[in-house]
Structure 1
């Protein structure tokens, strides 16, 4: 029974913590802090410069998200302040829960996660405006280890796989990563 629980635990941590908790994609948003919402009107046309600015801001948010997630995971700190600078719910909560779960089981992340993101779509006319990102993550050097002795947690080997994320523009103008998924069954 303990081995089965341990395998389930490590599988959950691997799928959640490899990308800092992006294995799930929720759709519920808080109205008071939710993404920018506009009433239905005739779709506005957006310039190439607007799209380029959105791409750049979304990729910066994604890069910040990965860096903040790595740092928070290495410190076993689910309340790391940088997480909220780059993430929004539901992903923010999922990342924090994954880090907390790892900490409670005496584990942490070490090593290097290599990222090569690409913007796959920009929809500034959407309600809220969104940018879709696709990434080929290389987690071969990024390990879940026991904090006590830095032994690798069994069953948590890395690899190269596809990851997707959505950056959403919020009322204050910030682009935050709100959803994401690690597609470990899709190598890249």
Structure 2
């Protein structure tokens, strides 16, 4: 936000200086710059750049969340430091509780899953800024098994289903996934 204000102030100052009559000697190495109006019509505006940066940061956080959750599940470690690098509450607590409960019942995660996320909405003007993500998660190769004998826990089978998440920009500038839902009733 502050950077945008500084850029606006610099542009106003530049326009003000350019509007003043100036007498100068040419050096023969002048640079040609588009007028301010042409730059303002450039499709790559500050808001587009910010939007793309937010989308990338949110998708990176989502990818990190999936990787950290998988690693924590495989290790049965609800305190894995990577979780707090990519997750914020309330989702961070939910994931940790889920891993801890599985461990207490002698279960752990095994295997891999496939993800194909996309951004569905960006709200940079919201307080805090958010990015909505939708994913078709394929968990057919990702199972909850008993740690002792690696038998599948009944009712824990995977599949392909819709998953949604929200990335939120925190005051320190990090984008964290703080909401996530699996819609098992919506195959993809």
TM-score category (smaller protein): 0.7 to 0.9
User: Match of 1:55?
Assistant: 55
Describe how 1:32-181 pairs up with structure 2 within 5 A. 47-181=47-181
CA offsets per residue over residues 134-163 of structure 1, 9 Å max, x none? 000000000000011111111111000000
Which digits, 9 at most, give the CA deviation of each residue in 1:2-54, with x for residues without a partner?
Answer: xxxxxxxxxxxxxxxxxxxxxxxxxxxxxxxxxxxxxxxxxxx9610100000
Distance in 1 between residues matched to 2:46 and 2:122, nearest whole Å: 10
Structure 1: distance between partners of 2:88 and 2:118? 20
Query: What's the TM-score, normalizing by structure 1?
Result: 0.75
| Map of 2:183 onto structure 1 | 183
How far, CA to CA, are the matches of 1:46 and 1:111 in structure 2? 42
For residues 48 and 155 of structure 1, what CA distance do their matches in structure 2 show?
45
Q: Secondary structure, in 3 states, of the residue corresponding to 1:143?
A: strand
Q: Who is 2:17 aligned against?
A: none
Give the 3-state SS of the residue equivalent to 2:82 in structure 1.
helix
Q: Distance in 2 between matches of 1:154 and 1:89?
A: 29
Q: How far 1:75 sits from its partner (Å)?
A: 0.3
5+ residue gaps, structure 1: 1-44
Structure whose alpha-carbon radius of gyration is higher: 2
Tell me, in whole angstroms, the C-alpha distance in 2 between the residues paired with 1:113 and 1:56. 21
Runs in 1 of length 4+ with deviation above 3 angstroms?
Answer: none
CA contact (8 A) 1:51 1:122 kept: yes
Cα RMSD between the aligned structures?
Answer: 1.0
* Secondary structure at 1:184 match in 2: strand
> What's the TM-score, normalizing by structure 2?
0.75
Secondary structure in 1 matching 2:121: strand
Q: Which runs of 5+ in 2 are unaligned?
A: 1-44
User: Structure 2 matches for 1:22-33, cutoff 5 A?
Assistant: none
* Number of aligned positions between the proteins: 144
SS of corresponding position for 1:140: coil
SS at match of 1:113: coil
